[in-house]
Structure 1
């Protein structure tokens, strides 16, 4: 095994105490490898914990659409760590194993659209366009705005933008999945 360029912070890290406690609370008591890398910078770890915590826990957006977008970003960016952590919540939110496997084909001509609703296919297309093209087709945004309303459309765009940030952080710092996904 090769040595990491930037090592993970230890699992038993205790300082800064308030931040460590907040992250452990959000994670159900344990750090994941992402946290252990973020904790090299207190300001970044604090901001990340708050921002991503809000995205994960306090949006009005349907959790299935949220996790679908997160998984789609993960696949498009090659961030297996992200997929590893978001496929289980996607299933918990109503997704199927077949849909999880299908999500690995986002951006390919053989993507099985029939496994997803029209709204889910639009969310997949938005994820693709934002991640790969940056520019988004106006007709697609109009369909999403009509289907979701202003708040949920903004939240979906924000989820995709935020998880593009997450995947880039994970890949640049070679953050790898834990042996067992958190509960």
Structure 2
């Protein structure tokens, strides 16, 4: 195994104390490798913890749609770390193991869309279009807005945008999954 170009910060990092405590609180007490990389820059780690904390914990968006979008971004960008961390919450939010396996086929002709509701299919299409092409077909946006309303549609778009940022950070810095995903 080769040495990391930029090493992870240690698991027992104590400073900056307030930021370390806030991240540990959001994570249930333990850092994940993403946190350990972010903590090389206090301003980035602070902003990330606040922004992603809001995305993860304070939206009106249904958690299943949120995690579906996160898993979709992960697959499309080849960010296994992201998928590793978001497939379990997708299942916890009502997804099935069959749907998790289907999500690995997003963007392929063999994607089994019939395993998902029409709104979930539109969320998958939004994720695909935003991630691969940036621009989203107006009909997809109209269907989502009609089904979800303005606030939740904006939140869904924000989740896809935010997790595209996450995947790019993970891949560029070669951040690897931990042995077990956090609960």
Same fold (TM over 0.5): yes
> How many Å separate the matches in 2 of 1:75 and 1:113?
15
> How many Å separate the matches in 2 of 1:95 and 1:179?
23
* Misfit runs of 4+, over 6 Å: none
> How many Å separate the matches in 2 of 1:120 and 1:179?
30
SS at match of 1:145: helix
Spell out the pairing of 1:8-157 with structure 2 (5 A cutoff): 8-157=8-157
TM-score between both structures, scaled by the size of structure 2: 1.00
Cα displacement (A) at 1:172: 0.0
CA RMSD in angstroms comes to 0.3
> How many Å separate the matches in 2 of 1:81 and 1:101?
16
> How many Å separate the matches in 2 of 1:167 and 1:144?
24
Deviations 1:38-96 (A, max 9, x none): 00000000000000000000000000000000000000000000000000000000000
Between the two proteins, the alignment pairs up a number of residues equal to 183
Deviations 1:18-53 (A, max 9, x none): 000000000000000000000000000000000000
Cα displacement (A) at 1:137: 0.3
SS at match of 1:50: helix
SS at match of 1:8: coil
2:162 corresponds to 1:162: yes
> How many Å separate the matches in 2 of 1:55 and 1:135?
22
1:4 maps to which residue? 4
SS at match of 2:9: coil
> How many Å separate the matches in 2 of 1:88 and 1:113?
20
Cα displacement (A) at 1:12: 0.1
List runs of 5+ in structure 1 lacking aligned partners.
none
> How many Å separate the matches in 2 of 1:162 and 1:181?
20
> How many Å separate the matches in 2 of 1:30 and 1:112?
36
List runs of 5+ in structure 2 lacking aligned partners.
none
1:173 maps to which residue? 173
